[in-house]
């Protein structure tokens, strides 16, 4: 388990080399209450003493590292704007007939083959979501407020509805039809809804937040890239069994905590994550090798580490990731996870200082650029037809009052 990539059960600080979902400016949602930092401690409490006796590695100056620095592009800004406006979209009642993507409020009576009937009033259906199946949705196309419709749907055994395995006759009265409306970013909208003086000021606030986030994430990504490159030239020797046992116990405890957080039994968690005993043992050994290597690099090269530097490190992280301070971040992610994140970052930066480093610059949107532009879907020009939910074009939105 690479601790730079997994800081604990709740907080995951992903490097830009992986999938980053940037949320701005609402990152304060992650903020927890401030908590006092525990008593002083020593990095020796975490570093593995005499690690060089158990692992060997090549001359770090011979290591080649390629690190990618992602910068903020205009498309990144517009994607964030679109995402925020999408979240602020509302359903507005219209006089026009319903089509895919619209919401319909209706009264419905569902009658099964044996005559059993169930009536629901003011039921809200989003056409295209397939809540009662695609055929049900298609029977409501072009329906307007006040319309009544009767139709029969035969469900398969695994259609994922409440009526699977039944033939159901529906009697429906449409009360209202509403269209999903995405607001336009104007100066007035920015002032009234986004706490910005203008649309341009809002875009600039996103840019500043993203640049701060990217600066931090690029640094973490480069340090991890350096460490990973050097680990390819390490050799694990004989090590005390107790070190491995401790690593395995830590791995099991982490998995158990994750299972609890997800509301799963450990057995169900292992099944869903496809983790067996061999996988866990391999993960524990990989984690031990990584910690041994980090400890050896720091010890062999007199790399300075201290609680003061660690505190500055987590305070910087907390400001980027929306926590009140480093203590709040530590309370959420756990000191052990964060200390090893700090140690990995510090060791990685040392390797960067002596290795042969090639730095590449990209805008983040280019990371996901399609090789075949014919695969690109322009949602503004898209004409949706029956069954569009199978392609994932619709999502569940909350309707603002």
> Each residue of 376-400: pLDDT tens digit?
434 444 444 444 333 333 333 333 3
Please say if the pLDDT value at position 54 is more than 50: yes
Question: In terms of domains, do 121 and 177 share one?
Answer: yes
Q: Which pLDDT band, with edges at 50, 70 and 90, does 322 fall under?
A: confident
Question: In terms of domains, do 228 and 203 share one?
Answer: yes
Residue 62 forms part of a structural domain: yes
Which domain covers residue 325, as residue numbers?
A: 27-81+196-369
Question: In terms of domains, do 162 and 210 share one?
Answer: no
Give the pair of three-digit tokens for residue 21. 């979902």
Give the span between the Cα atoms of 320 and 318, in whole angstroms: 5
* Structure confidence by residue, pLDDT tens digits, 222-252: 999 999 999 999 999 999 999 999 999 988 9
Question: In terms of domains, do 162 and 265 share one?
Answer: no
Please say if the pLDDT value at position 16 is more than 60: no
Question: In terms of domains, do 285 and 338 share one?
Answer: yes
Q: Which pLDDT band, with edges at 50, 70 and 90, does 371 fall under?
A: very low
Cβ–Cβ under 8 Å, residues 25 and 320 = no
* Structure confidence by residue, pLDDT tens digits, 337-351: 899 999 999 999 999
Report the pLDDT value the prediction gives residue 22, as an integer from 0 to 100: 32
Residue 188 forms part of a structural domain: no
Share of the chain above pLDDT 70, in %: 81
Question: In terms of domains, do 270 and 363 share one?
Answer: yes
CATH number of 107's domain: 3.10.50.30
Mean pLDDT of the chain: 82
* Structure confidence by residue, pLDDT tens digits, 258-304: 899 899 999 999 999 999 989 999 999 999 999 999 999 999 999 99
Residues 6+ apart with CB under 8 A from 29: 23, 322
Question: In terms of domains, do 56 and 162 share one?
Answer: no
Question: In terms of domains, do 206 and 168 share one?
Answer: no
Domain count, the chain: 2
Question: In terms of domains, do 35 and 154 share one?
Answer: no
Report the pLDDT value the prediction gives residue 158, as an integer from 0 to 100: 87
Give the span between the Cα atoms of 223 and 226, in whole angstroms: 5
Question: In terms of domains, do 122 and 238 share one?
Answer: no
Where are any strands of DSSP class E within 128-271? 148-154, 167-181, 234-236
Residues 6+ apart with CB under 8 A from 303: 297, 346, 347, 350
Residue 10 forms part of a structural domain: no
Question: In terms of domains, do 157 and 221 share one?
Answer: no
User: Which residue(s) pair with 64 in the sheet?
Assistant: 356
Residue 216 forms part of a structural domain: yes
């Amino acid at each position: 388990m690479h601790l730079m990539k997994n800081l604990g059960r709740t907080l995951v600080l992903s490097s830009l080399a992986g999938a980053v979902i940037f949320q701005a400016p609402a990152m304060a949602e992650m903020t927890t209450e401030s908590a006092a930092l525990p008593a002083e401690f020593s990095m020796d409490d975490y570093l593995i003493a005499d690690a060089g006796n158990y692992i060997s590695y090549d001359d770090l100056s011979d290591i080649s590292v390629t690190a990618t620095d992602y910068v903020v592009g205009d498309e990144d800004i517009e994607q964030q704007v679109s995402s925020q406006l999408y979240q602020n979209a509302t359903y507005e009642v219209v006089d026009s007939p319903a089509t895919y993507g619209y919401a319909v409020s209706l009264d419905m009576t569902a009658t099964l083959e044996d005559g059993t009937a169930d009536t629901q009033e003011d039921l809200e259906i989003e056409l295209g979501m397939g809540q009662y199946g695609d055929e049900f949705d298609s029977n409501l196309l072009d329906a307007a407020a006040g319309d009544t419709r009767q139709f029969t749907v035969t469900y398969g055994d695994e259609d994922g509805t409440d009526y699977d395995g039944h033939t159901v006759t529906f009697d429906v009265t449409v009360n209202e039809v509403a269209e999903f409306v995405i607001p336009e970013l104007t100066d007035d909208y920015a002032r009234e809804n986004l706490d910005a003086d203008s649309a341009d000021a809002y875009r600039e606030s996103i840019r500043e937040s993203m640049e701060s986030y990217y600066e931090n994430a690029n640094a973490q990504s480069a340090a991890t890239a350096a460490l990973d490159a050097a680990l390819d030239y390490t050799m694990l020797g004989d090590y005390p069994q107790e070190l491995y046992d401790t690593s395995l116990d830590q791995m099991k405890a982490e998995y158990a905590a994750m299972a609890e957080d997800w509301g799963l039994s450990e057995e169900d968690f292992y099944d869903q994550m496809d983790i067996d005993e061999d996988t866990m043992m391999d993960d524990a050994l990989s984690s031990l090798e990584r910690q041994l290597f980090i400890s050896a690099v720091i010890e062999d090269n007199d790399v300075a580490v201290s609680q003061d530097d660690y505190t500055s490190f987590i305070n910087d992280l907390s400001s980027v990731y929306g926590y009140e301070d480093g203590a709040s971040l530590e309370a959420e992610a756990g000191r052990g996870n964060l200390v090893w994140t700090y140690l990995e970052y510090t060791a990685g930066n040392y390797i960067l200082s002596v290795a042969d480093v090639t730095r590449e610059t990209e805008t983040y949107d280019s990371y996901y650029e399609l090789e075949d532009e014919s695969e690109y879907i322009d949602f503004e020009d898209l004409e949706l037809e029956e069954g569009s939910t199978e392609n994932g074009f619709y999502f569940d939105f909350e309707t603002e009052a």
